[in-house]
Amino acid sequence: MDVSKARSLLAEHGRQAHLVSSEALEELLAVNASRVVVGHIPHAGLSPGIIGQLYGGIFLIDGTYRALRSQREKIPFYAFLLTFDETMACMVDEPAVTPARATQEIREMLRNNPGPINADVSLSGELRGANLPKRMEEAIRASLTAEENSRLRLVFHHQGKTIPANKEHKHDGKEAIPE
């Protein structure tokens, strides 16, 4: 993740940091626990962190040690929240979103959350063939069980805009041609 870009996006919009609940903080820190150098925690400052959003889940882009110190010392932890599209814009090497990759991320979300979930899927490039929201949704749902599908709401994004899966998509004024 490009932390500098995340900071500049936040400065651009002049947002306020929000208090992170102790439950959410535990979930955020569980993701990064294996890469922590314990001796660094006491030296961390207490400024707000930055939280990103991908595939309906959240994660710390910046502030792991500050969050750990806050948790350890029972001090409230604050963080700025980036939108899905802002998070995607901060990715250094944006991964290609394939149905298999999206399904893997969605399955993990379903395992970690007992109720219904919204999963954001960012489509890059041209909306053609397997990259059409409808085709992507069909491929993802075909890989999931009926119970998993009943808990899932898919939301597709393309070039910073939310698009419904069943919408007809046009490219350069012409219908997208399936491959």
85 and 15 housed in the same domain: yes
What is the b/e burial string over 10-38, where b = at least 16 CB atoms within 10 angstroms of the residue's CB? beeeeeebeebeeeebeebbeeeeeeeee
Over range 119-147, report the average pLDDT: 85
Q: Give me the pLDDT at residue 175, please.
A: 37
Give pLDDT tens digits for 64-117.
Answer: 999 999 999 999 999 999 988 888 888 765 556 788 888 888 888 888 778 888
Number of domains in the chain: 2
CA distance 24 to 39: 24
Q: Is residue 178 situated within a structural domain?
A: no
Residue 68 domain boundaries: 3-89
Picking from 147, 62, 78, the residue whose alpha carbon sits closest to that of residue 110 is 147
Domain endpoint, select from 64, 89, 114: 89
28 and 60 housed in the same domain: yes
Helix axes 22-32, 64-73, angle to 10 degrees: 130
Residues 6+ apart with CB under 8 A from 115: 151
Domain endpoint, select from 41, 58, 89: 89
Q: Is residue 172 situated within a structural domain?
A: no
Q: Give me the pLDDT at residue 119, please.
A: 84
Q: Is residue 47 situated within a structural domain?
A: yes
Phi, psi of 154, deg, nearest 5: -90, 135
CA distance 66 to 118: 29
pLDDT level of residue 20 (50, 70, 90 thresholds): very high
34 and 65 housed in the same domain: yes
pTM of the model: 0.57
